[in-house]
Amino acid sequence: MMNTQILKLLWHKKEKQFFFFIEILIIFFVITMTFLYGYDHLKNYFVKLGYETKNQYIVRADFNSFKDSVELVRIKKLLSQEIKQIDGVESVAWVAGSAPMTYNNWGFGNDDLGFRYHANFLGADKNIVSALELNIVKGRGFEQDDYNDKYIPIIMNKLLYNLLVKAKGHEMVDSIYTAFTEFHIVGVVDHYKQNSEFQKEGYYLIALDHPLFLDNIDGGLTNLLIKVKDGANPSFQSKISSTYGDVAKIHDIYINQLDEDRKHESASYWLQLIAIGIIALFLLINISLGLIGILSHNISQRKSEIGLRKALGATTSQVVRQFVGEVMLVAGAALLVGLMVILQLPYVTEFEFEKKDLFIATALSLTFIIILLLLSSIVPSLRGARIEPSTALHEE
């Protein structure tokens, strides 16, 4: 009976309620996408990067002046030996342009498993596992004998490995993986994200600088990854520069610290999340205050109705339930429409987020908005419901 009465009252004030309906609908979309963006990035953040960035440096240099590939190999070998002798340097490894924190991605598409997927890769020498402190969970790291392998030896992340195992139905360590060429899987690392802690981990493999691999890749390995000891004297950087100048006659080099690059990139994501959070909070506060103001005004215009209902025996709780019920019915209709639209997004658009994440964000948004509406409507409703019948009817 009460619900029928509320529906009749709402219908008589449908013009005013329509704007409230639209407001709740917009709020729902904004809050859901805010939760989705924040949840997706924080979820990615808590997945391990997969390698160590502290005490790690990348040296970039232009080796294009070396036209003789044999001479280039000799120079790079000599550079490795000389730099490893510098006090404080623990290990070195030559890596390709898609080195960690470089934002230079090398990738390929593959449909060998019966469906299309994309994977990225890094070319590196046999020292990459120790230099980056990669965590091998299956198989092993690269060895010197791997340069004599019939196929290109690779290490892949567990995400790609599990995809292969699921598709093939058996363990794949020491098996052949076919993409743009044939690879020999020698090991698996737990995680690998190339560019950022907030990056979603994708399918990734690290290929040894095997002769067959270099035939498939332009440019070769021209970046030197250097791992230094804790407390290494910063002067080692100037020694690296002088070594490049003395050995390779290259004087224009760039030395980047991976940990600084990681922190810088993470800071930009944190700023985005904080900015979005502040905007959403500001929006919610304004909506809450606005809702309280609107309800207070509406209730003040309905004092006679309140007085009459209480004179006829309605209790304070019944009056509160009526006003809260009106708000929740309109809001519920708006949320239902919004829910139907939101849940269709993964099916009608190229949606970049996982469906599961969208469902979680939607559930959080619904819960948050319902709590906000209840809190915002109860305060003015209680204030209005406490009006005495004699006062309300006298003022009327």
pLDDT at position 208 is 94
246-263 burial, b at 16+ Cβ within 10 Å, e below that, comes to ebbebeebebbbbeebbe
Is residue 326 predicted with pLDDT exceeding 80? Answer: no
Structural domain ending residue among the three candidates 229, 259, 289: 259
Average pLDDT over residues 260-286: 88
Query: Quick one: 178 and 317 in the same domain?
Result: no
Is residue 269 predicted with pLDDT exceeding 80? Answer: yes
In the chain, the number of structural domains is 2
Structural domain ending residue among the three candidates 211, 229, 259: 259
Residues facing residue 118 across a β-bridge: 109
Query: Quick one: 182 and 302 in the same domain?
Result: no
Indicate the pTM of the whole model.
0.80
Contact predicate 236/55, CB 8 Å: no
**Cβ-proximal residues to 341 (8 Å cutoff; 6+ apart), any chain:** 29
Place of tokens 């305060």: 379
Query: Quick one: 76 and 134 in the same domain?
Result: yes
* pLDDT cut 70: percent of the chain above it: 86
Element spanning 176, H or E: strand 176-178
Taking the C-alpha atoms of residue 137 and residue 131, their distance in angstroms, rounded to an integer, is 17
Write out pLDDT tens, residues 234-244. Answer: 888 999 999 99
pLDDT at position 12 is 52
pLDDT at position 284 is 78
3-state class (DSSP) for residue 257: strand
Query: Quick one: 274 and 356 in the same domain?
Result: yes
Q: Which residue has the higher pLDDT, 19 or 226?
A: 226
Write out pLDDT tens, residues 157-188. Answer: 999 999 999 999 999 999 999 988 899 999 99
Sheet strands (E) in 180-333: 182-189, 203-208, 223-228, 253-257
Q: Which of 93, 103, 22 is nearest to 59 (CA)?
A: 93
Q: What angle do CA 309, 312, 315 make, to 5 degrees?
A: 65
Sequence length of the chain is: 396
Q: Is residue 162 part of a domain?
A: yes
The highest-confidence range among 139-148, 321-330, 376-385, by mean pLDDT, is 139-148
Structural domain ending residue among the three candidates 259, 279, 296: 259
Is residue 314 predicted with pLDDT exceeding 70? Answer: no
Calculate the alpha carbon distances from 260 to 180, 224, 327 in Å. 34, 17, 51
Q: Is residue 250 part of a domain?
A: yes
Q: Is residue 51 part of a domain?
A: no
Residues facing residue 203 across a β-bridge: 119
Structural domain of 383 = 2-46+264-395
Name the CA dihedral angle for 99, 101, 104, 107, rounded to a multiple of 10 degrees.
70
Average pLDDT over residues 118-138: 94
pLDDT at position 1 is 44
